[in-house]
Structure 1
Amino acid sequence: MIAETTEKLARPLIYVIAGEVSGDIIGARLIREIKRLQKDKFSFTGVGGDQMASEGVQSLFPISEMAVMGIFELVPHVPNLMRRIHETVQDIIAKKPVAVISIDSKAFTMRVAKLIQKKQKECDKEIKLIHMVAPTVWAWRPGRAKNISKILDHLLTLFPFEPPFFTRHGLPTTFIGHPLAEQPVGFSSVYRNTHDVDEATEIISLLPGSRPGEIKRLLPTFKKTLDLLLKKYPNIHIAMPTVVSVEGMLRRETLGWETPVSIITDPEMKLNAFAASSVALAASGTVTLELALAQVPSVIAYKVNPLSAIMGYFLVNRDAVVLPNKLMGKEIFPLYLQWKCTPYNLYKAITQKIENPTDQLIEASDAIRNMLRPNGQASQNLAAQIIINLVESGKTLSR
């Protein structure tokens, strides 16, 4: 055991930081791919969730502490957030990794990167600062791109339109594609058989978000929308794919609902639920991309703190909020934000999707999948190659 620990410590260390569930999944896939390409050449540590833990990463603290969305929603969490930032920086400096790979969660990861950059002189050798999942400067506050470019050594983006925002400021940036482009198609029959749902029953996927705050704001509206739908479609089954961290909350909140609700945490069964769904009602976020790739007609909704909404009205490019719409340059899924996010509006939009199916989504899905696989290569493979090259040679690559 001592010899194994000594050997692990002797290997170059890569510090991976993922602040939320989607980043945890990306981080785990990346670590797995680096291991595949380089066998046991590197060791890994950092901040992550269950997926990264399965790859041997012992998280410095639970990532559930960082699941906050919205400007004013963040305020009460600032003291704990700042404490965790400084703890992470201290841990990085003490462990002296060859690289820090941060994934999304900009409020946390960019502050860590900025402090590491300032403390580089305390390290024996330079720590490469690499970030995956670009800040959404194309949706709001584009001026952030210039500041971020002063901090990082390399940026890996998931979308093809992102690199120019950063390369113009001198930051080496590579479009690696999106891991969801590798998402397989589920099976409707598997979902129906597993959950004993007959073919005459309409299946609707409800996705009220992966953060407690999102669920608190959206689920009551989703429930009222469902009540309206039940008057028109009395035979409905609800599929509710979610993450483990909020599973208990959703089970408590949906107790006593009039129609059956299947809460799903298994990723494979989620895809089967999508395949079986006539329509989805979802919170804005990465899940909109999953739904487009799974060819599920969807209605997108979002609510934040009223003060955050007022600021967002002036700062956010609403045309860029829904990812499939941004990628295709047209509306694929309708969006209902804040005051427009009412049960009646959502009911009308869902009814239209059910009553008037089209082939538009099939074409859009195929186009998006091709768009998100540069040269037909999987994102984690391209990212792993770039990171290995950067760590071993000290060079940066841009595309």
Structure 2
Amino acid sequence: MRVFVIAGEPSGDKLGGALMAGLKSLVPEISFTGIGGVHMEEEGLGSRFPMEELSVMGIAEILPKYRELKRRIRETAEAILAEAPDVVISIDSPDFCLRVHKIVKATRPAQKVVHYVAPSVWAWRAGRAAKMAKTVDHVLALLPFEPPYMEAAGMSCDFVGHPVVTEPRATAEEAAAFRETHMIGPNQPLVLCLPGSRKSEVARLGARFDEALMQLRDREPGLRVVVPTVRGVSKFVRQMTARWPVAPIVVEASEDKRAAFAAADLALAASGTVSLELAANRTPMVIAYDASRITWHIVWNMMKIDTVTLVNLVSDTRQVPEFLGPNCQPRLISEKLLQLLEDREARAGQIAAMELTMQRLGEGGDPPGLRAARSVLGFLDRA
């Protein structure tokens, strides 16, 4: 069996590596070619060019590289047509991958194409599914409610589980050691502050998050704050938090971040998949987010849902409070954080929603990479 696989982002590379491992366990005689990163290379992929060439976002970032990206799209499509693999599997990065598929399908309509990660048409821009269906035959979905949307557009689709269920978590001993290292008493409240992974998000939300936590500290004088960050914005985060009246603990290493998530009593986070990481650690949370007035107006009017938090969506509850757009105000946020610290019933309601979320995402079952591999093979058997 010959598989051509494409990933353009680090998150897609992790999904691809797990999928490749699953396929190898089920089909010993299998070969891979395509584009990927370190995780996929560890499973035997020789990437045709560095995956990082595709890891660009936004008009300002893409325009200077447009010609190069267009050349890579053509090269990738030509490689697929030359090799005639049994299946092409693309992972996220739809702007690149769907352009590749369009060229391939124009020449070879019968080429089997699978795409891993369904577009969030349940939230906004429903037309993306119909656009994808022109060149994609089968979809691997991360969320349990996504298959009907893909099937309605004309593709087959399987829910294969979310990778958060297999992410390593800190032990109770590691969490206790984190508190001890940073001289945080066992009864001292510890709050995670997660203002985003992009500089623009951190710049927009950082001051408001700090103000909300300062107001909370007025009611909880022993409060400690930890800010997990990532390499791309670490320097900016450290510069920003150095100006805060009470400097937080800033952590960047993966093991420190895992320990902080497990040790925390509460989290204030920007909206995004971080809510699932918090749910995996059963850490109660408040979600807050804002954008420019124009952007917020456009996006909010396009939204088809009444919550942006995946824990609320997957559990079909509204246990996680949100302060979005005009409501992203420190006073409102701090009041809700205080309630979650003091109200056992509110905490218990969130934790129950997190338990249900993780169960529905596949916790305790077969790993998503193996489930994805079975879905690919099942699709090929039916095709």
Contact 1:15/1:92 (CA < 8 Å) preserved in 2? Answer: no
Q: Distance in 2 between matches of 1:104 and 1:208?
A: 24
Out of 198, 214, 237, the residue aligned to residue 250 of structure 1 is 237
- Asked if 1:14 corresponds to 2:7, the answer is no
Out of 68, 92, 103, the residue aligned to residue 91 of structure 2 is 103
- Count the aligned residue pairs: 371
Q: Distance in 2 between matches of 1:348 and 1:28?
A: 43
Q: Give the share of equivalent positions with the same residue, in percent.
A: 30
Worse-superposed segment, 128-137 or 195-204 = 195-204
> Which residue does the alignment assign to 1:301?
288
SS of the residue 1:319 aligns to: coil
Map 1:161-172 → 2, pairs under 5 A: 161-172=145-156
Q: Distance in 1 between matches of 2:335 and 2:252?
A: 26
1:171: how far off? Answer: 0.6
Out of 202, 209, 213, the residue aligned to residue 189 of structure 2 is 202
Contact 1:86/1:112 (CA < 8 Å) preserved in 2? Answer: no
1:379: how far off? Answer: 1.4
Query: Could you say what the CA RMSD is over the residues aligned between the two structures, in angstroms?
Result: 2.9
**TM-score relative to the length of structure 2:** 0.85
Change (3 A) 1:60 1:202: same
Residues 245-277 of structure 1 show CA distances to partners (whole Å, capped at 9, x for unaligned) of: 3333323332343233232330x4433222211
- Asked if 1:42 corresponds to 2:26, the answer is no
1:131: how far off? Answer: 1.2
> Which residue does the alignment assign to 1:345?
332
Change (3 A) 1:378 1:167: same
Residues 31-73 of structure 1 show CA distances to partners (whole Å, capped at 9, x for unaligned) of: 333344445732344144x54455566453426842x4xxxxx
> Which residue does the alignment assign to 1:113?
101
Q: Which runs of 5+ in 2 are unaligned?
A: none
1:132: how far off? Answer: 1.3
Change (3 A) 1:375 1:345: closer
- Asked if 1:365 corresponds to 2:365, the answer is no
Q: Distance in 1 between matches of 2:178 and 2:90?
A: 35
Contact 1:18/1:27 (CA < 8 Å) preserved in 2? Answer: no
Q: Distance in 1 between matches of 2:69 and 2:307?
A: 29
Change (3 A) 1:336 1:108: farther
- Asked if 1:265 corresponds to 2:265, the answer is no
Contact 1:13/1:43 (CA < 8 Å) preserved in 2? Answer: yes
- Asked if 1:60 corresponds to 2:61, the answer is no
> Which residue does the alignment assign to 1:377?
366
What amino acid is aligned across from residue 342 of structure 1 in structure 2? Q
Contact 1:244/1:265 (CA < 8 Å) preserved in 2? Answer: no
What amino acid is aligned across from residue 276 of structure 1 in structure 2? A
1:241: how far off? Answer: 2.6
**TM-score relative to the length of structure 1:** 0.82
Q: Distance in 2 between matches of 1:323 and 1:92?
A: 34
1:85: how far off? Answer: 4.0
Change (3 A) 1:366 1:226: closer
Out of 278, 281, 290, the residue aligned to residue 291 of structure 1 is 278
Residues 193-231 of structure 1 show CA distances to partners (whole Å, capped at 9, x for unaligned) of: 344433243211111222232222222222222232333
> Which residue does the alignment assign to 1:24?
13
